Amino acid sequence: MHTALSPSMLHLYDADNTIVVIIDVLRATSTIATALYNGASYVIPVDSVARCIELGSMPDTVTAGERDGRIAEGLQHGNSPFEYSRAFIENKVLVLTTTNGTRLLYMALEKGAKNIITGSFPNLSAVTDHLIVQKQNVLLACAAWKDRVNIEDTLFAGAVIAGVKEHFDINCDASMMAHALYTEAKPDVYGFVKNKKASHYLRLSGYGLEKDIHYCFTPDIANILPVYKEGKLVAGTGSAACSKAGLAAS
Amino acid sequence: MHTALSPSMLHLYDADNTIVVIIDVLRATSTIATALYNGASYVIPVDSVARCIELGSMPDTVTAGERDGRIAEGLQHGNSPFEYSRAFIENKVLVLTTTNGTRLLYMALEKGAKNIITGSFPNLSAVTDHLIVQKQNVLLACAAWKDRVNIEDTLFAGAVIAGVKEHFDINCDASMMAHALYTEAKPDVYGFVKNKKASHYLRLSGYGLEKDIHYCFTPDIANILPVYKEGKLVAGTGSAACSKAGLAAS
């Protein structure tokens, strides 16, 4: 089990026969879990607003994405998980453009990763249960912020490690650091991030998005496993985690 | 003030009008501080064994470097700070080849850094005193291990931040993480690194180098400021830190 704290270190790690967990806590992977948990047919992660608009012409499709804290021009919705209630998103396709998370997912694909899932606090147990059941190599890949390491993605990597470490050999300093940081933060992850003046916390709270941040640090509130398959993120099935998440979501 | 946890993130940070602190705790920058503290005329960091041998033909010069825990073929000495007592190294030139630390220093030079010093626990106060006096931007640059983040360099970055944070604006998640990690480790840094099974701790202790590791986590035991000038690392002068270190070393 390894942790790449930034996309700039992704190339250092093996992606063959490895489950790559894409982590973009604020807010891409939290919102992806929420949309699928609430019954979205699937999520298409795209890397540009133009591509988002193009795919949005399909029926029952919602386009979403933000730039600088506002809905990007030409798109319908933003990146907040609160926009994707069951009443709104069930049986629809969400085409989502985000910067850091989507870019990292495409980097993992280019690197040849064949087994990609997404992780966030809202689906923490779905991720850890899946990893324990699958017993494969794991790469926790943090989306970071324009390649700069961030606290929240590192904390989520640490939370995953805390949940699975009895089942894995971990000889990776980045993983040990993430785990140590999470152990310190665990009693109040939101408070820890706020207290440390995490740069993305400051950015989002500056946009008035405290409620989003709280949600994105709430474990298992949308406990489903997003699995990447042929351009789409779909609700996973087949592992203990997925079954449990599927039941919870139904 | 920023922290680059790996050379793979150095390009993300500005080096103009910035003091770049090269950090390679186990053991390059600890040994550099020790040699200068014990009266070496200067240290020439080089990136290959061949270049080390070439420069070793100058009078009063000691060549040093290891590969895989052994003195590299053709060189005279290793990377252990214990090899550089005053009786041995005073008034001599140390030509030192290391992999991660030297490579990072050259990367910083290529990036245009004009103000480079080296840091390690043995010269912690010399570094923090210097940074406080200089009042410039600071980039704490960790040598890491083949671009993979390591615990010990991160901890030293955290120790520097702990010492200077009242004097700087810090809006950098990597710095906050390093500081949080160091705060946890501070009561027993050696024990923390051992307990976390840091990869380089395991590597060096496997070579029987526990004594080196203990030394490299001892603050201010060789409290001098190595400053890079025209291909050489020399004992710095001119700041409060340097004066103090100079007195201590005399």
Between A150, A176, A184, which is nearest B180 by CB? A184
Average pLDDT score, chain B: 92
pLDDT tens string, chain A, 250 residues long: the values are 999 999 999 999 999 999 999 999 999 999 999 999 999 999 999 989 999 999 999 999 999 998 877 899 999 999 999 999 999 999 999 999 988 999 999 999 999 999 999 999 999 999 999 999 999 999 999 999 999 999 999 999 999 999 999 999 999 999 999 999 999 999 999 999 999 888 888 888 888 889 999 999 999 999 999 999 999 999 997 444 444 444 433 3
Q: Which residues touch B181 (CB under 8 Å, ≥6 apart)? A: A177, A180, A181, B151, B154, B155, B158
- pLDDT reported for residue B216: 97
Q: For residue B119, list its beta bridge partners.
A: B23
Q: Closest Cα to residue B79, out of B88, B87, B70?
A: B70
Mutate to test the interface with B, among A171, A177, A193, A199 (most CBs of B within 10 A): A177
Residues of B in contact with A180 (CB under 8 A): 181, 184, 196
Structural contact between residues B121 and B218, judged by C-beta atoms closer than 8 angstroms: yes
Only one residue has tokens 């324990």, namely A132
Structural contact between residues B1 and B168, judged by C-beta atoms closer than 8 angstroms: yes
Q: What is the ipTM of this complex?
A: 0.91
Q: Which two tokens stand for residue B123?
A: 């010269």
A26–chain B nearest CA distance, Å: 14
Nearest CA in chain B to A4: B148
Q: Please answer yes or no on whether A176 and B184 come within 8 Å at the CB atom.
A: no
Between A9, A146, A181, which is nearest B177 by CB? A181
Q: Closest Cα to residue A144, out of B165, B11, B74, B172?
A: B172
What is the per-residue DSSP string for A42-63? EEEEES-HHHHHHHTTSTTEEE
B193–chain A nearest CA distance, Å: 10
Q: Please answer yes or no on whether B196 and A176 come within 8 Å at the CB atom.
A: yes
Chain A with chain B: Cβ pairs closer than 8 A? 87
Nearest CA in chain B to A2: B148
Enter the pTM of the model: 0.93
Domains of chain B: 2-249 (3.90.1560.10)
Between B98 and A182, the higher pLDDT residue? A182
Nearest CA in chain B to A8: B8
C-beta neighbour count of B139 within 10 angstroms: 24
Q: Closest Cα to residue A47, out of A114, A120, A106?
A: A106
Chain A interface residues (partner B, CB cutoff 8 A): 5-6, 8-9, 12, 145-151, 154, 171-174, 176-177, 180-181, 184, 196-200, 202
Q: For residue A140, list its beta bridge partners.
A: A3, A21
Q: Please answer yes or no on whether A9 and B172 come within 8 Å at the CB atom.
A: no
Residues B180-191 pLDDT 10s: 999 999 999 999
Q: Please answer yes or no on whether B177 and A12 come within 8 Å at the CB atom.
A: no
Only one residue has tokens 């997003």, namely A226
Rounded mean pLDDT, B243-248 = 40
Q: For residue A46, list its beta bridge partners.
A: A97
Between A11 and B67, the higher pLDDT residue? A11
Rounded mean pLDDT, B64-87 = 92
Residues of B in contact with A154 (CB under 8 A): 173, 177
Nearest CA in chain A to B9: A8
Alpha helices in chain A (DSSP H): 28-37, 49-55, 86-89, 100-110, 124-134, 151-164, 173-185, 189-195, 199-206, 210-216, 240-249
State how far the Cα of B38 lies from the Cα of A12, in Å rounded to an integer.
38
Nearest CA in chain B to A181: B181
B249–chain A nearest CA distance, Å: 34
Residues of B in contact with A150 (CB under 8 A): 173
Between A145, A147, A176, which is nearest B151 by CB? A176
* Cα pseudo-dihedral B195, A169, B121, B20, rounded to 10: -150
Between B147, B181, B202, which is nearest A9 by CB? B147
Between A151, A172, A200, which is nearest B177 by CB? A151
Residues B228-238 pLDDT 10s: 999 999 999 74
Structural contact between residues A99 and A131, judged by C-beta atoms closer than 8 angstroms: no
Residues of A in contact with B197 (CB under 8 A): 171, 176
Nearest CA in chain B to A180: B181
Residues of A in contact with B147 (CB under 8 A): 9, 12
Residues B113-130 pLDDT 10s: 999 999 999 999 999 999
Residues of B in contact with A176 (CB under 8 A): 151, 196-198
Between B151, B174, B198, which is nearest A149 by CB? B174
Residues of B in contact with A9 (CB under 8 A): 6, 8-9, 147-149
Residue B242 clears pLDDT 80, i.e. is over it: no
Residues B151-176 pLDDT 10s: 999 999 999 999 999 999 999 999 99
Between B146, B173, B199, which is nearest A150 by CB? B173
Rounded mean pLDDT, B1-11 = 97
Residue B240 clears pLDDT 80, i.e. is over it: no
Structural contact between residues A175 and A140, judged by C-beta atoms closer than 8 angstroms: yes
Q: Closest Cα to residue B83, out of B39, B143, B35?
A: B35
Residues of B in contact with A175 (CB under 8 A): none
Helix (H) or strand (E) holding B104: helix B100-110
